[in-house]
Amino acid sequence: MTEQQKKLSGKTSISVIFPGDRANIVQRFLTTTRTADEFASYFTEDASFRFANAPTVVGRKAIQESSVAFRQKLKSVTHDIKSMWEMGDIVVCEMEVTYTRHDGKVVTLPCTDIIRMKGELFSDLRVYMDISPVFAP
């Protein structure tokens, strides 16, 4: 394992990785972001964000507001990165996301994110997953 891979592995169980500076940013975003303001700070002012089959949200402020609304529905969210690939300005991340609801129910789901970047910020984030089990009775 290279030093770069050791840095990325942190609290995750990465099995395949093609690391780079942008992959490091995505890993930090997924494992250390705790507030809606921190979440939004990773995006360009004109970024777009699409979570599953929800409508696309455009602009940093709108992304921050959607993050506030989503986070209020849950007690916590954690990401276990399985694989990550960096190709130019695109990072693809395969992971398992664990959601803890306010009633204590815990649901872990597979997820893949595709992140397009401008410099060190996200210009587009698309989350591919079926979140419906999290909100099922």
* Strands 43-51 vs 121-128: parallel, antiparallel or unpaired: parallel
pTM of the model: 0.83
pLDDT, tens only, 13-61: 444 455 678 999 999 999 998 899 999 999 999 999 999 999 999 999 9
Q: Helix H segments across 10-114?
A: 21-32, 36-40, 60-72
**Residues ≥6 apart with Cβ < 8 Å to 36:** 64, 65, 67, 68, 71
The fold of 3-131 is Nuclear Transport Factor 2; Chain: A, (3.10.450)
Instruction: For residue 39, give Cα distances in angstroms to 63, 81, 84, 116.
Output: 8, 17, 19, 15
